Amino acid sequence: MSVPDDRRYTDQHEWALRVGDIIRIGITDYAQDALGDVVFVDLPAVGKKVAAGDTLAEVESTKSVAEVYAPCAGEVRAVNAALADAPERINEDPYGEGWFVELTPDDITAVDGLLDAAAYRALIG
């Protein structure tokens, strides 16, 4: 399983990458593998405010439906609209073209408290 060192992770298998003053969020390689082929993604509206732990998106796959949780509080600044027509990008490139949303966080340092890559690797064994 791929676990890039440049981002932080949750124990629910989301990743958070700081890009300037925003946080880009997606699901990990481990999560997409467990889900199987992703067939639909329900993304939030731009401007939606979320608290840490709130449901941010829903992912439907050939195996199940899963929720994606906000790793920090903030406001949805952008969504990856390309996923509507190509949800398979989540399986093909979970850390790149398969990102879900960009948040303007209430506190940019909030993601620093998440798991680093080594801790996430230990979590997934």
Q: Please give the average per-residue pLDDT across 74-101, as a whole number.
A: 97
Residue 36: the pLDDT is 94
Q: Contact, 17 vs 71, CB < 8 A? A: no
Residue 94: the pLDDT is 97
Q: Domain 8-124 carries which CATH code?
A: 2.40.50.100
pLDDT, tens only, 96-115: 999 999 999 999 999 999 99
Task: Report the candidate in 7, 104, 9, 99 with the shortest Cα–Cα distance to residue 50.
Answer: 104
Domain boundaries, the chain: 8-124
Q: Are strands 14-19 and 8-9 parallel, antiparallel or unpaired?
A: antiparallel
Query: Strand 49-50's sheet: what is its strand order?
Result: 8-9, 14-19, 22-27, 101-105, 74-79, 49-50
Residue 1: the pLDDT is 84
Residue 38: the pLDDT is 97
Q: Contact, 67 vs 55, CB < 8 A? A: yes
pLDDT, tens only, 26-72: 999 999 999 999 999 999 999 999 999 999 999 999 989 999 999 99
| HSE-up (13 A, CA, CB side) for residue 49 | 1
Residue 85: the pLDDT is 95
